[in-house]
Amino acid sequence: MMARIMSRADRSVLGWGAFVVAIAALVLAVFGLREDSPAAAEAGGGGEAGATVLDIELAEWSIGPIVSDIPAGEVVINVVNKGTMVHNLSIPQLGVKSRDLQPGETETLQLGNVADGQYDMLCEIAGHASSGMTAVLMVGDGTDHTGAGTMDWQEMHAVMEARALDYPAKTEGKGGQMREPDDVLADGTKVFNITAKKVQWEVEPGKFVEATTYDGVVPAPHIHLEVGDKVQINLKNDLPEATSMHFHGVRVPATMDGVEPFTQKAVLPGETYTYEWTALEPAVGIYHSHTNGQIQIPDGLFGAMTIGEMPIPEYLQDKGYEKVDKTVDMVLNDAGTIGLTLNGKSFPATEAYTLRLGEVMMVHYYNEGLTAHPMHMHQPMGWIIAKDGIPLEVPMPADTINVAPGERYTVLYKATDLGVWAWHCHILTHAESTTGMFGMVSALIVTQ
């Protein structure tokens, strides 16, 4: 009876054929450790009596060290981040995941009674697994009782197809919807009362996480203003820690920039802070925390904010883009409790978007994650018309748009061909695993 950890290449396999079959059905429906060895010892302070304890180190870009002579049974893992970046440790088959660990931080994971088998280990911070932070924990005789490593291609295909057939799955909560002012004062000031609070958020069917939110949804409600509007935002902090609000990509006075301690004091738990300013110019921006932002933002504390209307370039009007039939926010995330998501949801709970032939959809991409995401729509070709809210003098065609953290791109798509068109991040490990599509995957359905 032996167990060991060994590095391995990512086994991600794409199965877009199953995806098309699944969504075609939708169209028809809708529109028609360690033991006594140098590397192991009996559990003491880090685990239960009788358990074996494994010390795991995370770093750029590895999970280790290689360990042997570990039997099946109760297993405890002490995880330490030896790197210079934030990392975590996830064992998906066991449903175990550490929190995001800062450099030098540690956490003890209780794995419970682990049977003989092979268990994937990886860092779920976006891009880290594909950079080498993967390993396999082999327990006992190494026989894989989970089925993930023993499936033939037919079985794997069936699992992938079954997951795709759940799309679009229903979950509790929908974020990013347009927010009307709570009040309009005598001088025309638009008042928004917003509460920062923790909620249980369903990222995908049956998977609830503790999200940090504005008004209980991820993304936060979309705030739209017109140039010249006077704005008052009353931020109430119901979080168990301090917070603040920064208006990213929006022109505001320095005193309203939301960066404590320089432009304001932190908003402490139970306090309310008022931001007041005038919308001076058009913007495609986003509002989010600027206090403990590396935790609060990935955990869900972000929302779109637009000012004015984005014009359609004359160049495209001459090509049949006379008007916008639908406007969509696509907020990207990849870390924290929310993880790899589009608008706060992971496939198969992401939204399916629809257009009729000839209609035009304007998409505002916002990246609130920690790494860039090349967003790709299979059809139709997109035209980038603005970067960070500033219209381009000459639109640029692209079917893949690489959106870096903090960036915003505005893209026009015109429905030119019938069908179901996959829409996903083209970092493949952000879109599918050996058990099927997940994370940053959606679809555009074009009908007559």
Buried b (16+ CB within 10 A) or exposed e, 425-443: bebebbbbbbbbbbbbbbb
Both 122 and 40 in one domain: the answer is yes
Query: Does 352 reside within a domain?
Result: yes
- Cβ distance 447 to 357 under 8 Å? yes
Give backbone dihedrals phi and psi of 29, rounded to 5 degrees, phi first: -70, -40
Both 110 and 141 in one domain: the answer is yes
Question: What is the number of structural domains in the chain?
Answer: 2
CATH code where residue 403 lies: 2.60.40.420
Q: E strands of 82-219, at which residues?
A: 90-91, 96-97, 106-114, 117-122, 134-139, 178-179, 183-184, 190-204, 207-214
Both 156 and 277 in one domain: the answer is no
Give backbone dihedrals phi and psi of 445, rounded to 5 degrees, phi first: -105, 120
448 residues of the chain, pLDDT tens digit each: 334 454 443 333 344 544 444 454 444 444 443 333 333 433 334 445 678 899 999 998 889 886 656 788 899 999 999 998 899 999 888 888 999 999 999 999 999 888 888 788 899 887 788 677 888 888 876 554 444 455 688 888 888 888 888 899 999 999 999 999 999 999 999 999 999 999 999 999 999 999 999 999 999 999 999 999 999 999 999 999 999 999 999 999 999 999 999 999 999 999 999 999 999 999 999 999 999 999 999 999 999 999 999 999 999 998 999 999 999 999 999 988 999 999 999 999 999 999 999 999 999 999 999 889 999 999 999 999 999 999 999 999 999 999 999 999 999 999 999 999 999 999 988 998 877 899 999 999 999 9
- Cβ distance 392 to 286 under 8 Å? no
CA–CA gap between residue 420 and residue 355 (Å, rounded): 10
pLDDT value for 22: 46
Query: Does 172 reside within a domain?
Result: no
Both 109 and 61 in one domain: the answer is yes
Both 233 and 290 in one domain: the answer is yes
Give the residue from 84, 89, 88 showing the smallest Cα distance to 103: 84
* Whole-structure pTM value: 0.75
pLDDT value for 34: 36
Render pLDDT for 43-97 as a digit per residue (tens, 0 to 9): 334 445 678 899 999 998 889 886 656 788 899 999 999 998 899 999 888 888 9
pLDDT value for 48: 52
Domain boundary among 164, 193, 223: 164
- Cβ distance 307 to 181 under 8 Å? no
pLDDT value for 117: 80
CA–CA gap between residue 225 and residue 265 (Å, rounded): 26
Buried b (16+ CB within 10 A) or exposed e, 114-125: bebbbbbbbbbb
Sign of CA dihedral 285, 288, 290, 296: negative
Task: Say what percent of the chain tops pLDDT 70.
Answer: 85
Phi-psi group of 350: left, alpha or beta (phi > 0 → left; psi -120 to 50 → alpha; rest → beta): beta
Domain boundary among 136, 164, 192: 164
On the question of a cis peptide bond just before residue 269, with omega within 30 degrees of 0, the verdict is no
Both 265 and 409 in one domain: the answer is yes
Both 286 and 312 in one domain: the answer is yes
pLDDT value for 126: 76
Domain boundary among 101, 131, 164: 164
Enclosing domain of residue 348 = 178-447
Both 140 and 111 in one domain: the answer is yes
pLDDT value for 66: 64
pLDDT value for 120: 85
Both 115 and 58 in one domain: the answer is yes
Both 156 and 238 in one domain: the answer is no
